[in-house]
Chains A and B, each alone.
Chain A
């Protein structure tokens, strides 16, 4: 527990530095007002836009990475679930049914990833690469490669409504993160995931169904991606099968790693990933706010990523006199 808390410190530090920069560079950054019964301001946007994609994807990705895997297919799964939900409401289904259909198919696709990895024994990067390509095709096939606009009020509300002044996605995603975190620690799932990621062979010999664990985390990652896809579609009242979620897997992986979960698997931190996602979203909005030309925007982005990396560096931390313990391999 102590280690986890200490890994959380560094992304938080990076986030605070970025926020302080904004506070100085753009005065209106922290301005939040009450408008039409909801909170309104850049900080709210960070949470709202951050919740819809990076946070959600990072949630699933955290568990996948904790088992030592990776999921490249999240963007494509977003496209599929968004498309399914949109087509369902257009076909007359209720919001609930449409969302359930989208999430169901997304979870199923995640489970397919899981089967390819845990049962067939493909390397995660390859299995999910296949899903990334084919899943995008599936989304386009379902929609005839066209945008699917819809006018279902309750579905649109999912992304644009507010609960107690907070955007619905923020409430939804923080709730999901909280419940997931709680469940993982209440049950033995968290332990099994970490054990599987740290030493799969030993875990199996200790009686853990490592195959089942992997299957479950890819299914969960699919579910999270599905929810993200539904929210993205709800946000613009249309499903965009060809482009939605494109390259967002990198954002998710970045959020997870920045949050202190090692790509090699093992110990994970959901809270860290959420902070990592917020960091990423803050960075994006900062670049918009400073009107950094899109062509050169990658450069400051690279600088911030490197800065986060350096904060994570044991070497540098040792320099600053922080005590660390190293785990012998």
Chain B
């Protein structure tokens, strides 16, 4: 099979830190090639070197036998490489259609054919099974739609190489399947596809070969069919792993009621919802894309105020008019949109972690520096955050590690109810287990968790109660033994 892309001995340094240590990577025509590794292993960095975002400090890249020195994404695109980056890198101030066709708009003389732009955008999204108003601003859509838009943009280019950096991190099963179908078809047409994901199932479902990176170095490349899962994970984390049951089974219900949501709604948007959250247990919110899970969380946390209903804690009604009020009532909310609503990019890891705690204490009672450092050190260790140190700007961390810092921010608050919206988005297998374990600990300490995830297995594994949403309304509340993949799917799908 012909080789499409060959990266040889790539070295990339950020200051004194070496993110890639002589990585070699080959992509054939007509294959789906998975790129695996823990958070911070260097996957995104390798991709950014291939597409000219970062200039390599060493090594060469050849595309279809020709040496290229992609100095910019523009040139990489011209060389036939089309990319979906990990952080959705689109333009929220432009329409969905424009985002898909930016730079490649069909023209009539010097003028853009706007109608044609929309038509092509609609077609590109339709290939992924998505139908939205392509004229609306991208920023008005949730992360998942934005991610689909980014994928549609990449698919619309006539490229020989397609690079997808965690494209499925906020898609649910159905969307992911649509994407895989497209990927398989493109593979059939001879395209080479690089695919990054932390979902092992997905990796094995689509990829032909797997390359593993660890700490910026190449571990090896294998045929997917000949690489057992356990061995793959061992390569990733650099340790022998044996099959372990994991203690992630369903935590049984029966805990005392900690919070009670009564008829909470935001008229025209979501609700009404009525359910209770038990102390020391996780309650899941399940539903399809756009079913209103995020909106429920935002309403609870007082970001978009509720128009009706109430929330009671221990029988007393709590005021949830603003994030601050919600925090005072013991709530914490970790947003799914880490780039826009999560990280403060130029502040350090330490500052990002203590931020919420500091905010709740107020301006005058500064968290002492020693305490800040202890806290940062504790979470860096506990969540295994890959950072050069607590003073590194969070913006320079890998996506998964940023997510861990945000989790740390809210765990440090020791809230009574922790709302996690897609907390494991972009997080590697090892870290997922760590986070689940940590949640377990928090629960045992009496904290309640409201858990939102597109990964139903995760919901099933962690939650003792699941509120199922359909069309922005509460469809059912499943309890304890009633929770299973099948029951949730059935409730979601019922009409």
Give residues in A with beta carbon < 8 Å to B: 1-2, 186-189, 191-192, 194-195, 198-199, 201-209, 266-267, 323-325, 327-329
Q: Chain B nearest CB: distance from A194 CB in Å?
A: 6
Q: Are B15 and A191 in touch, CB under 8 angstroms?
A: no
Q: Is the beta-carbon distance between B345 and A199 smaller than 8 angstroms? A: yes
Are A202 and B367 in contact, with the CB atoms below 8 A? no
Q: Once bound together, how far apart are the Cα atoms of A325 and B234, in whole Å?
A: 33
New A-B contacts (9) at CB < 8 Å, excluding given A1-B391, A198-B345, A267-B346: A186-B366, A188-B364, A188-B365, A198-B347, A203-B344, A206-B356, A206-B359, A207-B355, A207-B360
A325 to B367, CA, bound (A): 28
Expressed in whole angstroms, the Cα–Cα distance for A324 and B409 within the complex equals: 28
Q: Evaluate whether A201 and B341 lie within 8 angstroms (CB atoms) in the complex, with A208-B359, A323-B15 already known.
A: yes
User: Of B335, B343, B355, B393, which is in contact with the most chain A CB atoms at under 10 Å from its CB?
Assistant: B355
Do B343 and A188 touch (CB < 8 A)?
no
Cβ 8 A contact of B340, one of A186, A201, A208: A201
Write the nearest CB–CB distance from A161 to chain B, whole angstroms: 34
- Give the chain A neighbours of B446 by CB distance below 8 A: none
Given contacts A188-B363, A208-B355, A327-B395, contact A198 B327 (CB under 8 A): no
List the A side residues contacting B14 at CB < 8 Å.
Answer: 325
What residues on B are CB-neighbors of A186 within 8 Å? 366
Instruction: Assess the B327–A266 pair: CB atoms within 8 A.
Output: no
B342 touches A202 (CB 8 A): yes
Complex Cα spacing A192 to B367, Å: 13
CB distance from A123 to the nearest CB of B (A): 16
B324 contacts the other chain (CB 8 A): yes
B215 at interface by CB-CB < 8 Å: no
Complex contacts, B327 vs chain A, CB 8 Å: 207
Contact with A along B2-21 (1 / 0, CB 8 A): 00000000000011100000
Of listed A1, A188, A199, A323, residue having the most chain B CB within 10 A: A188
Taking the closest CB of chain A, its distance from the CB of B352, in whole angstroms, is 9
B133 to chain A, nearest CB (A): 24
Closest to A213 in B: B363
- Kindly identify which residue among B342, B346, B351, B409 contacts A191, using a CB–CB cutoff of 8 Å: B351
State how many angstroms separate the Cβ of B350 from the closest Cβ of chain A.
10
Choice from A187, A188, A205, A327 contacting B341 with Cβ under 8 Å: A205
The reply to whether A207 and B344 contact each other, CB–CB distance below 8 Å, is no
B87 (CB) vs chain A CBs: closest residue: A328
Per CB-CB distance, the 9 closest pairs between chain A and chain B, nearest first, are: A207-B359, A327-B395, A206-B356, A208-B359, A206-B355, A198-B344, A207-B327, A188-B366, A199-B344
Set of chain A residues within 8 Å of B361, measured between Cβ atoms = 188
Closest chain B residue to A189, Cβ basis: B363
- Bound CA–CA A2/B360 (angstroms): 28
A199 proximity list for chain B (CB < 8 A): 340, 343-345
Given contacts A204-B323, A206-B356, contact A329 B351 (CB under 8 A): no
**Within residues 319 to 348 of chain B, which ones have a CB less than 8 A from any CB in chain A?**
323-324, 327, 333, 335, 340-347
Bound state CA distance, A32 and B356, in angstroms?
51
Q: A188-B366, A325-B14 are in contact. Are A205 and B333 (CB under 8 A)?
A: yes
Enumerate chain B residues within 8 angstroms of A327, measured Cβ to Cβ.
Answer: 345-346, 393, 395-396
Q: Chain B: which residue is nearest A199 at the CB level?
A: B344
A157 to B327, CA, bound (A): 50
Question: B354-380 vs A: 1/0 string, CB under 8 Å?
Answer: 011011111111110000000000000
- Tell me the smallest distance from the CB of A32 to a CB of chain B, in Å: 40
A328 touches B396 (CB 8 A): yes
Contact residues in A for B323 (Cβ distance below 8 Å): 204-207
* B303, CB-defined interface residue at 8 Å: yes
Chain A residue contacts of B358, Cβ below 8 A: 188, 191-192
Give the docked Cα–Cα distance between A199 and B14 (Å).
24
Q: Interface centre among A2, A195, A202, by most B CB within 10 Å?
A: A202
* Interface set of B (CB-CB < 8 Å, partner A): 14-16, 301, 303, 323-324, 327, 333, 335, 340-347, 351, 355-356, 358-367, 391, 393, 395-396, 409
Interfacial chain A residues near B364, Cβ < 8 Å: 187-188
Contacts of B303 in A (CB 8 A): 205
Whole-angstrom CA separation of A201 from B362 in the bound complex? 18
Contact between B347 and A329, CB atoms less than 8 A apart: no
A325 to B365, alpha carbons, bound, how many Å?
A: 32
Report if A207-B356 is in contact (Cβ < 8 Å); known contacts: A192-B363, A198-B347, A328-B395. yes
Residue of B301, B341, B346, B363 touching A198 (CB-CB under 8 A): B346
6 sampled A-B residue pairs with Cβ under 8 A = A188-B358, A188-B364, A189-B363, A266-B346, A267-B347, A328-B345
- How far, in Å, is B39 (CB) from chain A's closest CB? 15
Most buried by B among A187, A205, A267: A205
List, in ascending order, chain A residues with CB within 8 A of B346's CB.
194, 198, 266-267, 327
Would B367 and A188 count as touching, CB distance under 8 A? yes
Q: How far is the CA of A198 from the CA of B342 in the complex (A)?
A: 11
Are A195 and B15 within 8 A (Cβ)?
no
Q: How far is the CA of A191 from the CA of B357 in the complex (A)?
A: 12
Identify A209's interface contact among B324, B333, B393, CB under 8 A.
B324
Instruction: Tell me the complex Cα distance, A204–B325, Å.
Output: 12
A57 to B: closest C-beta gap in Å = 24
A324: which B residues are within 8 A, CB to CB? 15
A329 touching B355, Cβ below 8 Å: no
A161 to B203, CA, bound (A): 77
A190 CB → nearest B CB, Å: 9
Knowing A188-B358, A191-B351, A195-B347, the reply to whether A202 touches B363 (Cβ < 8 A) is no
CA gap between A287 and B324 in the complex, in Å:
53
- Provide the residues of chain A in CB contact with B342, threshold 8 Å: 202, 205
User: Which residues in B have their C-beta under 8 angstroms from that of A266?
Assistant: 346-347
Q: How far is the CB of A214 from chain B (nearest CB, A)?
A: 13
Closest to B326 in A: A207
CB-CB under 8 A from B365, the residues of chain A are 188
Which residues of chain B are near A1, meaning CB under 8 Å? 391
Closest-CB distance, A172 to chain B (whole angstroms)? 25
- Give the nearest-CB partner of B15 in chain A: A325
Q: Which residues of A contact B301 (CB under 8 A)?
A: 205
CA distance A204 to B359 in the complex (A): 9
In the bound complex, CA of A264 to CA of B313 (Å): 41
A327 vs B347: C-alpha distance when bound (angstroms)? 10
A187 vs B367: C-alpha distance when bound (angstroms): 8
- Bound-state Cα–Cα, A201 to B351, Å: 16
A2 CB contacts on chain B under 8 angstroms: 391
Residue of B nearest to A194 (CB): B347
